[in-house]
């Protein structure tokens, strides 16, 4: 898009004003120290190959962090999309709202996943190798929120998806009443297991470094 483009009272050059340093990669926004204090750079130009939801989230972060007046949000958004998306937004008319623009972009260019695919992702989600219990639980909670899953569904999938069978058996025997309690118990067991493994390793190291009685007599 032409760097001199003017739209809805805001220029692309004005939006993209940056402090010295590296430029943000596509879809990236980061905080820096500008002339007026802490500020955020806008995300890179949105194209059809990018994740619309992630990009809109970063744009919202930029707009709010810089206290951009809401009447300039539409112009800012239009200044940060490529030609194809800009032409698509023009069909909404000159008086469209920011919400109308975001809904249009999500509907036309968002990455849609059918409810069936989302349900499969939830039911097949298990703890990955080297993934902490807390990270596994957080990811499961996000997937469940998208599907409107109940607390019992989250708790059951959490227990079934744990890699450590001893922790699974303990949780089944304990019968936690909700998802958060299941996480707390699982986390406590994992911490205890880590401590035991650390102590065992230290004892093995000490035993290996200490000479046997027969060697000491020599």
56 falls within a domain:
yes
Residues 6+ apart with CB under 8 A from 68: 62, 76
Bridge partners, residue 10, by sequence: 7
65 falls within a domain:
yes
DSSP assignment of 92-113 equals T-TT--HHHHHHHHHHHHS---
218 falls within a domain:
no
pLDDT for 40? 77
Q: What is the pTM of this model?
A: 0.48
pLDDT for 145? 86
Contact 122, 143 (CB under 8 A): yes
Query: 100 and 42 share a domain?
Result: yes
pLDDT for 167? 94
Give me 78's structure tokens: 């239009």
Contact 22, 39 (CB under 8 A): no
Q: b or e along 69-102 (b: 16 or more beta carbons within 10 Å of the residue's beta carbon)?
A: eeebbbbbbbbbbeeebbebbeeeeeebebeebb
Asked which of 83, 109, 135 is the last residue of a domain, the reply is 109
Query: 104 and 10 share a domain?
Result: yes
170 falls within a domain:
yes
Asked which of 93, 109, 125 is the last residue of a domain, the reply is 109
Query: 16 and 105 share a domain?
Result: yes
Query: 54 and 87 share a domain?
Result: yes
Query: 98 and 123 share a domain?
Result: no
Distances (CA, A) of 18 to 15, 42, 163, 194: 9, 9, 46, 46
Query: 85 and 119 share a domain?
Result: no
Q: Write out pLDDT tens, residues 6-64.
A: 445 454 445 544 333 444 444 444 444 444 445 678 999 999 889 999 999 999 999 99
Query: 54 and 141 share a domain?
Result: no
Secondary structure of 53-69 in HEC code, one letter for each residue: HHHHHHHHHHHHHCCCC
Among the listed residues 114, 92, 119, the one whose alpha carbon sits nearest the alpha carbon of residue 103: 92
Segments forming the whole domain that contains residue 52 = 6-109
Query: What's 104's domain CATH number?
Result: 1.10.1200
Query: 90 and 138 share a domain?
Result: no
Query: 56 and 24 share a domain?
Result: yes
Question: What's the structural domain count of the chain?
Answer: 2
- Angle subtended at Cα 56 by Cα 148 and Cα 114, rounded to the nearest 5 degrees: 40
Query: 58 and 19 share a domain?
Result: yes
pLDDT for 27? 46
Asked which of 80, 109, 138 is the last residue of a domain, the reply is 109
Query: 93 and 143 share a domain?
Result: no
pLDDT for 142? 83
Query: 27 and 97 share a domain?
Result: yes
**For the chain, which ranges sit under pLDDT 70?**
1-39, 192-218
217 falls within a domain:
no
Cα–Cα dist 59/171, whole Å: 42
């Amino acid at each position: 898009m032409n760097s001199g483009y003017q739209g809805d009272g805001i220029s692309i050059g004005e939006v993209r004003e940056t402090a010295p340093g590296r430029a943000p990669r596509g879809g990236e926004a980061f905080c820096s120290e500008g002339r007026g204090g802490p500020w955020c750079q806008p995300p890179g130009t949105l194209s059809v190959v990018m994740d619309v939801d992630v990009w809109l989230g970063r744009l919202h972060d930029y707009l709010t962090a810089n206290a951009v007046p809401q009447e300039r949000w539409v112009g800012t958004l239009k200044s940060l999309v490529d030609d194809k998306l800009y032409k698509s937004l023009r069909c909404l008319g000159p008086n469209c709202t920011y919400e109308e623009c975001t809904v249009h972009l999500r509907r036309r260019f968002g990455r849609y996943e059918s409810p069936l695919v989302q349900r499969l992702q939830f039911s097949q989600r298990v703890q990955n190798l080297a993934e902490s219990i807390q990270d596994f639980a957080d990811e499961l909670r996000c997937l469940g929120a998208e599907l409107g899953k109940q607390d019992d569904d989250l708790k059951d999938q959490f227990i079934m998806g744990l890699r450590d069978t001893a922790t699974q058996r303990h949780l089944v025997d304990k019968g936690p009443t909700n998802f958060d309690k299941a996480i707390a118990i699982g986390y406590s067991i994992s911490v205890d297991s880590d401590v035991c493994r650390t102590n065992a390793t230290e004892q093995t190291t000490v035993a290996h470094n200490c000479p046997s009685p027969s060697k000491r007599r020599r």
